[in-house]
């Protein structure tokens, strides 16, 4: 390419007036004619060469991807655990509401004598204490039942992890076998 054209492009380059396509052409021409250039054009050709090299020299190592993926996967499993807790908590709320709204009134209706005694608990502190104790015992049983649900969920999580691990090992074995072949 004529040096006149290169000099025109050089001037436009300094002014920031080259279009994207023109600039790509300019870079390419300077690269091709690098040995025959002098002065500013030579300096710029070297500059372009260096900016291209920066892309290769400044790059991350191969294990970077694995590090990031490991981190985001641990975030994901953390979120799963949290969602199991949310389910467990919801189950507990439903059980408590069912007890309060349905079981408790039923038990009151089934024993009218007890109901009469209940109305006068202020005059009979021992009875009140017994009633409170029985109610708290029932609540404790309900809480334990909720906890059992959580245990079964944890068992499910452990089983899931084991399956994933064995699947990964199987996959790795297959890959090793393929590499050996």
Contact footprint for other proteins (CB under 8 A): 13-17, 20, 24, 40, 43-44, 46-47, 49-51, 53-60, 64-65, 67-69, 71-72, 75
Q: Which is nearer to other proteins, 9 or 88 (CB)?
A: 9
Q: Which is nearer to other proteins, 20 or 179 (CB)?
A: 20
Q: Which is nearer to other proteins, 28 or 107 (CB)?
A: 28
User: In whole angstroms, what is the distance from residue 52 CA to residue 45 CA?
Assistant: 11
Element (H, E) at 49: helix 39-57
Q: Which is nearer to other proteins, 57 or 119 (CB)?
A: 57
Between CA 75 and CA 80, with CA 78 as vertex, the angle to 5 degrees is 115
DSSP secondary structure letter of residue 33: T
Whole-number minimum distance, CB 42 to other proteins, in Å?
A: 9
User: In whole angstroms, what is the distance from residue 89 CA to residue 97 CA?
Assistant: 12
Whole-number minimum distance, CB 27 to other proteins, in Å?
A: 9
User: In whole angstroms, what is the distance from residue 22 CA to residue 37 CA?
Assistant: 19
């Amino acid at each position: 390419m004529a040096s006149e054209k290169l000099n025109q492009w050089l001037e436009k380059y300094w002014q920031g007036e080259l279009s994207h396509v023109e600039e790509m052409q300019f870079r390419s021409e300077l690269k091709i004619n690098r040995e025959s250039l002098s002065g500013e054009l030579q300096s710029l050709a070297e500059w372009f060469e260096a900016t291209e090299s920066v892309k290769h020299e400044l790059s991350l190592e191969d294990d970077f991807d694995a590090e990031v993926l490991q981190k985001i996967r641990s975030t994901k499993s953390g979120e799963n655990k949290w969602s199991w807790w949310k389910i467990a908590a919801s189950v507990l709320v439903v059980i408590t509401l069912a007890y309060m709204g349905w079981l408790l009134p039923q038990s009151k209706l089934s024993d009218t004598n007890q109901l009469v005694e209940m109305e006068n608990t202020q005059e009979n502190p021992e009875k009140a204490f017994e009633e409170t104790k029985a109610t708290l015992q029932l609540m404790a049983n309900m809480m334990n039942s909720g906890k059992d649900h959580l245990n079964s969920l944890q068992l499910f999580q452990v089983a899931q992890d084991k399956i994933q691990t064995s699947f990964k090992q199987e996959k790795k074995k297959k890959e090793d076998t393929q590499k050996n072949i």
